[in-house]
Amino acid sequence: MNRRRFRLAPQEGWLSLGLVGLLCVTLAWSLDDAQLVLGRAGLTDFLQWTSIGGVLAGFLGPKVGWGRWKTFFIGSVFAALVTPLIVGSVLLPETSSFGAWFEATAAAGVAAWNDLIVMGRLSTAQYGHHLLVFGLFVWASSMFASFAVFGHRRPLSGVVLIGALLIVNMSLTIRDQLPYLVLFSLAALFLLIRSHTFDEQSDWVRRRVGDPSAMSGMYLRGGTIFIGLAVLGSLLLTNVAASDPLAGVWTDASV
């Protein structure tokens, strides 16, 4: 039993899994806060659960020995089964029937297709298809980021993807989303430092260089101090720096 539990535990540590989850949930919170569907709050609260589902799919695949495509395929199957149920619970909050939830999501998608494609209308009163697309999008992004960390051992790829999506969403909304960017930055930097320390520790053990535990602790403490100073400095510059520092240059040049 103990050996089985050890095999399922991530070599990078459970904290790494938590940091990946925080990265992806931050993206879900950012999309939810933007109120992209009908401008109504609450419709996309479920995105945090689809992000967690994607993270678990991308994490469990490598742990049971699946490759990239098998993990993505099985994770996509679960996404196609679970996400419509979650969307259906948003469309029909008064019922608790899985069948009714799935039917509500399917009916909303068919009705939107009929309005926009068959009838050729410019708009539709349906919005369930938007919720479904966002849910699947967040699941897929989270699954890719999680597999990049635990499958490919390339955390930077996952960080870049989630960060790019977060920046794009922030650029499309007028709502203040700086807290999400700060939270993402903290999680991303800690994840990268932990991953680098794990890689270095494996090399130290192989070469028998010093005490790997002590050296890892030193790396993590130094990295934590660096992250704290970097984030605090960025917040300070955000509050005091000019938003158009070159405005005076162009004014002087035009005189």
Comparing 23-27, 88-92, 135-139, 140-144, which segment has the lowest mean pLDDT?
88-92
Give the 3-state secondary structure of residue 165.
helix
**Within a domain: 200:** no
Average pLDDT over residues 13-22: 89
**Within a domain: 99:** yes
Average pLDDT over residues 51-66: 92
**Within a domain: 202:** no
Tell me, letter by letter, the H, E, C secondary structure of 196-220: HHHHHHHHHHHHCCCCHHHHHHHHH
| Arithmetic mean of pLDDT over the chain | 83
pLDDT in tens, 197-206: 766 666 655 6
pLDDT: is 178 or 50 the higher one?
50
Q: Number of structural domains, the chain?
A: 1
- How far is Cα 104 from Cα 237, in angstroms, rounded to an integer? 48
Token pair, residue 120, equals 């050729």
pLDDT in tens, 101-152: 999 999 998 998 888 888 888 888 888 889 999 999 999 999 999 999 998 8
Write down the pLDDT at residue 5.
47
pTM of the model: 0.82
Write down the pLDDT at residue 236.
77
Domain hosting residue 18, numbered range: 2-175
Inform me whether the pLDDT recorded for 218 exceeds 70: no
**Within a domain: 222:** no
- How far is Cα 152 from Cα 64, in angstroms, rounded to an integer? 14
Token pair, residue 203, equals 């090399």
**Within a domain: 17:** yes
212: CB partners within 8 A, 6+ apart: 201, 204, 205
**Within a domain: 229:** no
Contact 66, 146 (CB under 8 A): no
